[in-house]
Amino acid sequence: MNYQSPLARARGLGSAKQGTHEWWRQRVTSIALIPLVFWLAPAVVSLPHADYEQVVRWIGTPWNSIFMLSFVILVFYHAMLGLQVVMEDYIHTEWLKMLSILGMKLVFSFLALASVYATLRIIFMG
């Protein structure tokens, strides 16, 4: 039998304001990704007919390289935020939730760094 008041049971479970920062970051990244997707979609449609040198030249132009790096960073960050929310909502064992979130962040960070490295290598090395 639990003799605690509802307020006492709710203490220590976190503030209702705690998730708003992550919610805003996900909304801002999604809004930033909209023009980048409209930039990337026509390019992806036209690039399958291009050879390797044309694709490298396309990525190597200043605006395309800036947009590509922005897209890569934002898409991985946005995906990480979204998957973290899913894990927080649906994994109920606390140690498994923390381990899953940590592993997911490590994997996404590695993939983002590898993608940025590959893009920078194309930009500077050709």
126 residues of the chain, pLDDT tens digit each = 677 777 766 666 655 556 688 889 999 999 999 999 999 999 889 888 889 899 999 999 999 999 999 999 999 999 999 999 999 999 999 999 999 999 999 999 999 999 999 999 999 987
- The pTM for the full model equals 0.81
Classify domain 20-125 at the CATH topology level. 3 helical TM bundles of succinate and fumarate reductases (1.20.1300)
Asked if residue 68 lies in contact with residue 43, where contact means CB atoms within 8 angstroms, the answer is: no
> What pLDDT score was predicted for residue 47?
84
CA distances from 49 to 5, 45, 58, 83, 97 (A): 67, 9, 13, 34, 44
Cα separation, 27 vs 61, whole angstroms = 29
> What pLDDT score was predicted for residue 48?
85
> What pLDDT score was predicted for residue 3?
74
> What pLDDT score was predicted for residue 21?
86
Cα separation, 45 vs 49, whole angstroms = 9
> What pLDDT score was predicted for residue 42?
93
